[in-house]
Amino acid sequence: MRLLPPALCASPGPARRGGVTPGLSVKAPMEMWSTSSSEKFYRIPEGKGPHSVGCTDLMTENAVEGSFLRLYYPAYDATDTEEARWIPDKEYYQGLSDFLNMYRVVGERLFHYYVGSVTCPAKSNAAFKPGEKYPLLVFSHGLGAFRTIYSAICIEMASQGFIVAAVEHRDESASATYYCKRRSVSESQEESTPNVEKEWIYYRKLKTGEEERCLRHKQVQQRAQECIKALNLILKVNSGEEVTNVLHSDFDWNSLKDSVDTSRIAVMGHSFGGATVIESLSKEIRFRCGIALDVWMLPVGDDIYQNSVQQPLLFINSEKFQWAENILKIKKLISNDTNKKMITIKGSVHQSFPDFTFVSGGIIARFFKLKGEIDPNEAIDISNHASLAFLQKHLSLKKDFDRWDSLVDGIGPNVIPGTNIDTSPAEPE
């Protein structure tokens, strides 16, 4: 029996072994997502820290081996700058449709209708706010996701004084991604035609008879390398080296020079991205600590459990997603290390971490597990506050995030230490 990957829209519990529960239905009623001005409740939350937040995209090299990321950063307050589009290209709708086993023509229309005008509360290409050295956080998305749909987390971290590099993985685990390739001379002869074009890479489903663990382990190796590439790229920018952005945005990358605190770097991710966090820590000591949100442990290699992750590590789990086998692997990795901790958010689901939980209406969202029993804003606040407290301690930050230290120990409303999952051996019948 194959374990279905806990992806962008995976269902919790036993149903996980039967198939993916999609994040929307072809027959989804009108309240599924709301973008009308009269219903501002359905909006990705703004950052609560002292900084305004900007975001910009960076892609290097005209090849699949290059880096692709969205950068969230402290910015000057720019009232004349537009917020960034949440899902920037229609091809992402097509990829999500493939991932959710929907006809592309249906999925694209539904996504465009319900979320096509959704923006995230970060100003597109806003001027970077220099003046201090900011810690760097590299973020890894889940299976079937992409760089923009964890914006609530990334924006909060940037508002609290982090530079956040949200990587878009090209290991065929994203629902869609792309790289830019140059057109041939004949194709770009007309002046109105750009000399580069997007080459799209869509999510690859398992082939018949293919062993999932082998594929996912291979993918997580590439994902970890992409996180390390992103780290190296931002450090290049920080050192003042010239970096070519093939996306040609108006953002001034030179403004980032000497603004990264190179001694304070961490890695964070959700689900498959949580496994990527573990692999990245094992391969790159410059990541001083990591945070794994509702981690999926299947892709993690056996060698990782042999003391190859020395850095502090925080596991933040949802109540409804985890299962005994996965928790036992987490416990094996923690193994009495006081710098490795696990907490669980009561009433939360796997989708309490990506942005879909904020832009979906009530009944349908609950039915498709996009919302848990806890208010989405409260759940993400708990996760963000615990993360900030953990980062303060292990990056030696001079902030006031230690006021949330109790959350890291699982103490407080709607949070418990460790897990709600019973991992004791089953009694023989």
Stated length of the chain: 429
- How many angstroms separate the Cα of 71 from the Cα of each of 137, 220, 283, 324, 368? 10, 22, 23, 36, 30
How close are the terminal C-alpha atoms of the chain, in Å? 22
Helices and strands of the chain, counted as H and E runs: 9, 13
- What SS3 string covers 12-52? CHHHHHCCCCCCCCCCCCCCCECCCCCCCCCCCCCCCCCCE
Distance CA 344, CA 338 (A): 17
Dmax over Cα atoms in the chain, in whole Å? 76
What does DSSP say about strands 260-270 and 134-140: parallel, antiparallel, or unpaired?
Answer: parallel
Quick check: 144 and 173 in contact, CB under 8 A?
yes
Quick check: 217 and 302 in contact, CB under 8 A?
no
Which positions are catalytic?
271, 294, 350
Query: In 3D, which of 119, 124, 114 has the Cα closest to residue 152?
Result: 119
Distance CA 281, CA 362 (A): 38
Quick check: 289 and 271 in contact, CB under 8 A?
no
Q: Write b or e for each residue in 22-50: b if 16 or more Cβ atoms lie within 10 A of its Cβ, otherwise e.
A: bbbeeebeeebbbbeeeeeebbbbbbebe
